[in-house]
Amino acid sequence: MSYSLIGIKIHEYIGIALCILFIIHCFNHQKYYYSLFHFKFNLQKIIFFIINLGTLISMLGLIISSLIFLDYIPNIYDINLINFARIIHLLSTYWGFCFISLHCGLHWKMIYNLILKRLPIAINKILQAFPKINLILSLIIAFYGLNSFLHYDLLSYMFYQNNFVFFDPTQSLLLFILDYISISGLFITLAHYGLKLIPISDFKFCLKKDNIHIS
- What's the pLDDT at 60? 96
Q: What is the pLDDT of residue 74?
A: 67
- What distance, in Å, lies between the first and last C-alpha atoms of the chain? 43
pTM of the model: 0.86
Distance between CA 199 and CA 202 in Å, rounded? 5
Nearest by Cα to 173 from 181, 185, 161: 181
Distance of alpha carbon 92 from alpha carbon 1, whole angstroms = 12
Q: What's the confidence (pLDDT) of residue 172?
A: 93
Q: What is the layout of strands, in order, in the sheet containing 204-207?
A: 40-42, 204-207, 212-214
Specify the DSSP class assigned to residue 204.
Answer: E
pLDDT in tens, the chain (215 residues): 888 899 889 999 999 999 999 999 999 999 888 888 776 777 888 899 999 999 999 999 999 999 887 776 666 677 788 889 999 999 999 999 999 999 999 999 999 888 888 888 888 888 877 878 889 999 999 999 999 999 999 999 999 998 888 888 888 999 999 999 999 999 999 999 998 887 665 444 454 444 444 44
pLDDT of residue 64: 92
Report the alpha-carbon distance of residue 111 to residue 104 in Å, rounded: 8
